[in-house]
Amino acid sequence: MKKLLILSVLAIALYACSSEKEGNMVVQGQIKGLKKGKLYLQKIKDTLLLTVDSLELKGKENFLLFDDVDSPIIYYLTLSDNNTQKSISFFGEQGTITINDKVDKFGVSPEISGSKNQELLEQFLKVKTRFQNQKLELIKKSFDAKKENNDALTSEIDKQYQKLTKRRVLYTTNFAVSNTDSEIAPYIGLTEMYNASIKMLDTINNSLSERVKKSTYGKQFQEYVEKVKKTEEH
């Protein structure tokens, strides 16, 4: 009887922190320290940011939001609090996705679980950050070398910069090719390979599984590759 009572209380508590919508994707979690605010579950559709679910939170840290997902895509969990808005981007897909964060550092380092594509994206972003840090170091060194009129050092740093760029593109391509049965592959192709050769873009596109080719990002990536090919022909 005691267990039933506890379960009933939990159910009521969750219902009080949930929206009235339902869907095949559940986004749940906790925002520690949140006293009052509104949460929005959003996604990009036809270049517009669309709110698919929302929830007013008053003295509650836990939340439940929903949407129907046809194909895994990037979603945004946006917190509107004290006339400010902050967002967490994540890969949404069917199932239950848990997002835990703190209100005072919302979006800085959220804990996200339940999405395979999100796990892969976080792996990729860790290495991408290392490339970005190396890039910033080379830019600083190049600036200092030019300031000292050291042409030889400037030339050497430029070579290092070009090598770093090639390594980044190669890593990005290999990461996408290694995950061609996940929507992360065409997503990376669309967002990270703007300076890649058509050969590399084709390599990713031709390696995608049939399921991923039919996904939202799979179709968009196919269109992008075809557009690049036509541009190069002219």
Quote the pLDDT of residue 223. Answer: 96
Identify the pLDDT of residue 19. 58
Q: What is the CA radius of gyration of the chain?
A: 22
pLDDT in tens, 62-106: 999 999 999 999 999 999 987 789 999 999 999 999 999 999 999
CATH hierarchy code of domain 2-112: 2.60.40.10
Tell me the domain boundaries of the chain: 2-112, 118-233
* Strand pairing report for 25-32 and 95-102: parallel
Confidence of residue 8 (pLDDT cuts 50, 70, 90): very low
Percent of the chain with pLDDT strictly greater than 70 = 91
Residue 234: the pLDDT is: 64
For 173-208, write each residue's pLDDT tens digit.
999 999 999 999 999 999 999 878 999 999 999 999
Residue 14 has pLDDT above 80, yes or no: no
Residue 214 has pLDDT above 50, yes or no: yes
- What percent of the chain shows pLDDT beyond 90? 80
Structure confidence at residue 4 (pLDDT): 40
pLDDT at residue 6 tops 60: no
Confidence of residue 132 (pLDDT cuts 50, 70, 90): very high
pTM score:
0.86
DSSP calls for the chain: -HHHHHHHHHHHHHHHTB-S---SEEEEEEEET--EEEEEEEEEETTEEEEEEEEEEES--EEEEEE--SS-EEEEEEEEETTEEEEEEEEE-SEEEEEEEEGGGTTTS-EEES-HHHHHHHHHHHHHHHHHHHHHHHHHHHHHHHHTT-HHHHHHHHHHHHHHHHHHHHHHHHHHHTTTTSTHHHHHHHHH-TT--HHHHHHHHHHS-HHHHTSHHHHHHHHHHHHHHHHHH-
